[in-house]
Amino acid sequence: MNDDLVAQVRNALREVIDPELGHNIVDLGFIYDITVVDGTAHITMTATTPGCPASGFLKDGAFRSASRVVGIDSVDVLMTFEPAWKPSMIEPATKALLGFP
């Protein structure tokens, strides 16, 4: 696994903004895992709920953002709801901006 490429993919994913919450999917805690093997970025992510209408938008955004990273030849995005997302997964600074305790 290439830690530098993983960090670059994580930074690229910060470009994807959740349309409802108005913050990026990394800081919101939607990204569960990123690995890069042989030029393929494998991203495991979630959304707020299984019925979230933005799920497809977020998944497509993650695919497009990761695809633009130099050294990434292909991207595999897995959307999962296990474990279920909860507000405690939000980065502290973003949580404060959203008004969560």
Report yes or no on 47 lying in a domain.
yes
Report yes or no on 94 lying in a domain.
no
Label residue 101 by pLDDT band (50, 70, 90): confident
* Structure tokens given for 8: 């670059």
Q: Shortest CA distance to 65 belongs to which of 98, 100, 17?
A: 17
State which residues form the domain around 43.
Answer: 3-82
Report yes or no on 73 lying in a domain.
yes
Cβ–Cβ under 8 Å, residues 12 and 78: no
Q: What is the residue-wise DSSP string for the chain?
A: --HHHHHHHHHHHTT-B-TTT-SBTTTTT-EEEEEEETTEEEEEE--SSTT-TTHHHHHHHHHHHHHTSTT--EEEEEE--SSPP-GGGS-HHHHHHHT--
Q: In the predicted model, is pLDDT for residue 96 greater than 90?
A: yes
Report yes or no on 100 lying in a domain.
no
| CATH number of the domain residue 15 falls in | 3.30.300.130
Q: Shortest CA distance to 12 belongs to which of 53, 91, 71, 78?
A: 71
pLDDT at 2: 78
Tens of pLDDT, residue by residue over 39-76, are 999 999 999 999 899 999 999 999 999 999 999 999 99
pTM of the predicted structure, to 2 decimals: 0.93
